[in-house]
Amino acid sequence: MNDALLDEVSDPSDWTGAWSELRPLDTSLRCGLCYKKAFDAELVAQPALEAAANHWRHARRLRPRKRAAVDDLDGEHVDYRALDASTLVQCPICQHEFDAATLNEHLDRGCGLDDPHPASSSALSSTASSKMDSWLRRPSMTHQPSPKRLTRPQYQLKSEKDLRKMLEALELPASGTKDRLIDRHRHWVNLYNANLDAAPALRASIPSLRKQLRQWERAQDESLCSKTITTEKQAQSWLKANQDTYASLAAQARATLHASETKYSADPSTGGQDSNIPGHS
């Protein structure tokens, strides 16, 4: 191969056909970024890497030329752990521990859950095992489904009878007008769902929520009563302040009516009568 042919190779992929074996060599002699030829003078020396490579070459000569022969096993797994009568083993079905002799009887009886469980050989390990077992099992025994949130119905489509049934199902008072029933149910939904949004440790009990509902209704009644009294007082105060004005207007109206009756009764063309005056025909 002449130098002209080598100059035509600008990329390792140019090695094709019978020369494809030179492709890995050409790749190793080029820069991994620009694919230009890399020479030793252009490389940055790495003393630590070169020292490690030299030590590795020196250490490889100490490797044995042949590997040690390994004795062939008979192909059967051998368990070297010796089991005696006091060794505790776990039942693969119910996960309880039994000694080796009792486990066989336990399995022969169909893994009876009422079988007595033997105590551990060590009190400490038995206590720790029982604590761990109870810790793992307690959540599944005491787990309760989380309560569902209440939803508001279409109150306009509900009759008073339906609203009373809804309140009775929630063990709430079912007395009052339809508007009071709607307000009571709406406020109860707000209290109940807001209580569910709190952390379980901070949630109030259902009796406590009913007490809050009663307090809210009492406050609503007091507010309504206060508004009614205030309105009546305002009306009386307004009438008292404008009493003189009303009296003056009434006097003017009576004087106008009296003047009209006197005028038409004295007019000769009407014969002393006027059909437009009330009481005359």
**DSSP labels for 139-206?**
HHHH--PPPPPP----GGG--HHHHHHHHHHTT----S-HHHHHHHHHHHHHHHHHHHHS-GGGPPPH
Specify the pLDDT at position 119: 47
Residue 156, pLDDT above cutoff 50: yes
274 Cβ contact partners less than 8 Å away, ≥ 6 residues apart: 264, 265, 267, 280
Specify the pLDDT at position 51: 83
Specify the pLDDT at position 191: 92
More confident residue, 60 or 170: 170
Mean pLDDT of the chain: 75
Q: What is the pLDDT of residues 122-132, one digit of tens each?
A: 444 555 455 45
Residue 192, pLDDT above cutoff 90: yes
Specify the pLDDT at position 19: 82
The residue-averaged pLDDT of 106-116 equals: 65
Q: What is the pLDDT of residues 256-279, one digit of tens each?
A: 888 887 877 766 665 555 445 455
Token pair, residue 258, equals 């009296």
Under a CB-based contact definition with an 8 Å cutoff, are residues 204 and 191 in contact? Answer: no
Residues pairing with 90 in the sheet: 97
The residue-averaged pLDDT of 67-84 equals: 58
Specify the pLDDT at position 48: 84
CA distance linking residue 281 with residue 278, whole number of Å: 8
117 Cβ contact partners less than 8 Å away, ≥ 6 residues apart: 96, 97, 98
Under a CB-based contact definition with an 8 Å cutoff, are residues 118 and 101 in contact? Answer: no
Residue 238, pLDDT above cutoff 70: yes
CA distance linking residue 216 with residue 213, whole number of Å: 5
Work out the pLDDT band at 87, boundaries 50, 70, 90. Answer: confident
Q: Name the DSSP letter for residue 34.
A: T
